[in-house]
Amino acid sequence: MKKDMSVSRRNWVQNMAMATAGVGLAQFAFGREQTQSRDEQKDSQPLLPFYLPPQQPLQPGSGGIDIRTWVRSSKTNMQFSCVETAVAPRTMGPAPHVHKGLDELMLVLEGTATVIVDGNVEEIRAGGWHFRPRKLEHTFWNGSEKPLRFIDMYFNQNFEDFLEELFHQIFPDMVKNNLSPQDPQIAARLKNLDKRFGITTFPEKRQPIIEKYGLKG
């Protein structure tokens, strides 16, 4: 019974956190110099081949959802990264949110992902792809009775760092210290995380989705 209560607590903490978690010539020349400097820096750090061995499929875990980084942006000069995500049956994802500068490409490996983008709902089955451009409000969930796994690919932003900080630092700290997302310290960390990665989150829009589709959240 104690173990069940601990798992339930972790589920509640993670889902609650996810709901809060979303011209002059001189100036022109200076901007061009900055761009050239970044390009030169990339050229001075040539990409190297790398191999990632197979791993066992990721499991959602006690919180109902988890992530695992595969390709790190540091390995691709900030051009590309990707993570594997596992979601338990009938489980809601994050609150609807908007990325200021991130484009996402999803490849579903197992199960069916339900995605909503600017009010349009689509189901992406295993083998299907879904592209979500920046500045469009979106979220996802697993509305089926089977596990969901997918790869999310990110371009020109180290978004894997956002996810790792959220899932592997903030969430565990909340569970360990018995804190809610409304705790001032946690709320400040979540707000700072969104700000650093250019995300606007709409936590008030998450519960209506949970209720409409009969999800756990």
**Residue 212: predicted pLDDT:** 97
CA distance 126 to 11: 26
**Residue 34: predicted pLDDT:** 55
CA distance 188 to 165: 14
State the CATH number of the domain containing residue 208.
2.60.120.10
CA distance 153 to 69: 10
**Residue 70: predicted pLDDT:** 98
- Let me know if residue 51 belongs to a domain: no
**Residue 182: predicted pLDDT:** 87
Residue that the structure tokens 């190297």 belong to: 48
- Let me know if residue 48 belongs to a domain: no
Nearest to 149 by CA among 84, 53, 62, 55: 84
Buried b (16+ CB within 10 A) or exposed e, 145-169: eebbbbbbbbbebbbbbbbbbbbee
Nearest to 111 by CA among 152, 142, 84: 142
**Residue 24: predicted pLDDT:** 44
- Let me know if residue 25 belongs to a domain: yes
The model's pLDDT over 85-95, given as tens digits with 9 standing for 90+, comes to 999 999 999 99
Q: Which residues of the chain have pLDDT under 70?
A: 1-44
Full residue range of the structural domain in which residue 146 is found: 2-43+57-213
Structural domain tally of the chain? 1
**Residue 31: predicted pLDDT:** 53
Radius of gyration in angstroms for the set of CA atoms belonging to the chain, rounded to a whole number = 19
